[in-house]
Chains A and B, each alone.
Chain A
Amino acid sequence: MSKLVVVEKQIVVPGEILAEGMDFLPGKGTFREGENIIASRLGLVNASGRVVQIVPLAGKYLPKRDDTIIGVVKDMSYSSWFVDVGYPYEGSLSMKDATAEFIERGASLSDYFAVGDVIITKVANVTKEGNIDLTMKAPGLRKLNGGRVIEITPFKIPRVVGKQGSMIGLIKDKTGCTLFAGQNGRIWIRGSSPEAEKLATDAIYLIAEKAHTSGLTERVGEFLEKNKLENQK
């Protein structure tokens, strides 16, 4: 007899038994010991079908292939750039993947990307050793000019974006800011005024704080409406 010991969205700690029996499968953040599935992270239980997994409450970014992320150029070598992506190791963006343009011999690489530049980039590959290859060759990948980049825990990015981008669309609508949420937990915000950017920032921090509650879109809508009026005063 297999049974689920915990309920959906329950907060569990490492070591807690989640399910008994072989009918369930261990997903992310869990492992099997004997017939039991046990939590290896602190987070919320998500049991969709037979797979039991944990959505962590917080943690560092773990790069996956095809993630679209926000990076900061930290260093350059003769043929590549090194980009901080919020992971312990820097990602490398090679000349070949950086631009579709022909780079002439002797050209200055900093004309393309300079140290300190913020870019939207994509993870092309993650090797077994944890080296990250980045690419700029996909639609929408570019250098970001101006604005601010804020950081939240990457596991809360899906909540910030919302279903079919409903949440991020709401923030864009109400604040008039341009936003981009990277899979690595970094969000780029640029608005017409620092007040608008501040409002969008506060809304995102509110989402990150209340990510596990329901009815969040309405609450964020109210928050934006209320503070927008105060800003206009």
Chain B
Amino acid sequence: MIVSKEYMESIIDQNKRIDGRKFDEYRKIEVEYGISPKSAEGSARVKIGDTEVLAGIKMELGTPFSDKPDEGSIMVNVELIPMASSLFESGPPSINAIELARVTDRGIRESKALDFKKLCVREGEKVWLVFIDIYPINADGNLFDACYMAALAAIKDANFPVLEGDKINYKEKGKEKLPLTKMPISCTVWMIGEKFLVDPTQEEELASDARLSIVILENGKICAMQKGGSMALRAEEIFKMIDIAEEKTKEIRRYFK
């Protein structure tokens, strides 16, 4: 759809959205677990409206960082392939892809949802490295939430591969699940003009002035934030966005029960 920024703003000003939704209304969310049980330790597909994202977990053994000898680690990678949107180009990761990966990584890492200590095999020698690869295959807005949900669902789905001595048997799926101890949920609130909305379509994203991604735990604790867009945010605006995110994460949480 082609919509000019001015026209989009005039619609938002009337407290309406271009597809008839309310400002705080998500499109239909679908979470599917274990879409690639043979090739990945864990996998998931997340759809939000027409946006569709795949995530896969691969695990490897590696040496721990010297300051944290008893902790494993995660690595998040997002690839924005041209198939997903006409706005994406092939080649090295764009700044948007890097930001998506970093925000997803931070949400999982800083919430301490994944118990890194349980990823340790032998202290100071061998730990599990969890690779989270995220592939949006259709981008129609709100990739921040979609990528985050896909990563979380894939971790939830993942099992440790079988360890035979120091060798990994990828062919067999272990019984042990990845140590996901908490459920941090992300919600990105977008600002267009003076108004706040969630789950924008591609057109709304292009017309937006600022956004704030917020990751919230079950108990209401905020564990990660990322601000984007060219417009500065006032303190009261940030509080308002947090209130919206708190409300919406409660709603999204039921997809991860």
Contact = CB atoms under 8 A, between A and B. Distances in A.
Interface of A: 72, 116, 118, 146-151, 186, 193-195, 197-198
A194 B10 CA distance: 10
20 contacts: A146-B4, A146-B6, A146-B10, A148-B1, A148-B3, A148-B7, A148-B18, A149-B1, A149-B3, A150-B1, A151-B1, A193-B14, A193-B16, A194-B11, A194-B16, A194-B17, A194-B18, A194-B20, A197-B18, A198-B20
A186 B1 CA distance: 9
Contact of B18 (A72, A118, A151, A198): A198
A178 to B, nearest CB: 14
A181 B183 CA distance: 48
B235 interface: no
B4 A116 contact: yes
A118 B20 contact: no
Contact of A148 (B2, B14, B16, B17): B2
Instruction: From B4, B11, B14, name the one whose CB has the most chain A CB atoms within 10 angstroms.
Output: B4
Interface of B: 1-4, 6-7, 10-11, 14, 16-20
Contacts of B2: 72, 118, 148-149, 151, 186
Contacts of B4: 116, 118, 146
Nearest to A194: B16
A149 B1 CA distance: 5
A195 B22 CA distance: 12
Contacts of A150: 1
A72 B86 CA distance: 15
Give 4 closest A-B pairs by Cβ, nearest first.
A149-B2, A146-B7, A194-B16, A198-B20
Contacts of A194: 11, 14, 16-18, 20
A83 B112 CA distance: 50
A147 B7 contact: yes
A149 B3 CA distance: 7
Given A146-B7, A146-B10, A147-B7, A195 B20 contact: yes
Nearest to A149: B2
Contacts of A197: 18
Contacts of A195: 16, 20
A150 B19 CA distance: 12
Contacts of B11: 194
A150 B1 CA distance: 5
Contacts of B19: 198
A160 to B, nearest CB: 16
Contacts of B3: 148-149
Nearest to B20: A198
B120 to A, nearest CB: 52
Contacts of B20: 194-195, 198
Nearest to A150: B1
Nearest to A146: B7
A145 to B, nearest CB: 8
B21 to A, nearest CB: 10
B6 to A, nearest CB: 8
A193 B10 CA distance: 11
A63 to B, nearest CB: 18
A194 B1 CA distance: 14
A94 B4 CA distance: 24
Nearest to B7: A146
A164 to B, nearest CB: 28
Nearest to B12: A194
Nearest to B2: A149
A22 to B, nearest CB: 44
A198 B14 CA distance: 15
Nearest to A148: B3
A151 B203 CA distance: 14
Nearest to B10: A146
B204 to A, nearest CB: 12
Given A148-B1, A194-B17, A195-B20, 13 more contacts: A118-B4, A146-B6, A146-B7, A147-B7, A148-B7, A148-B18, A150-B1, A186-B2, A193-B14, A194-B11, A194-B14, A194-B18, A194-B20
A194 B13 CA distance: 12
A212 B204 CA distance: 33
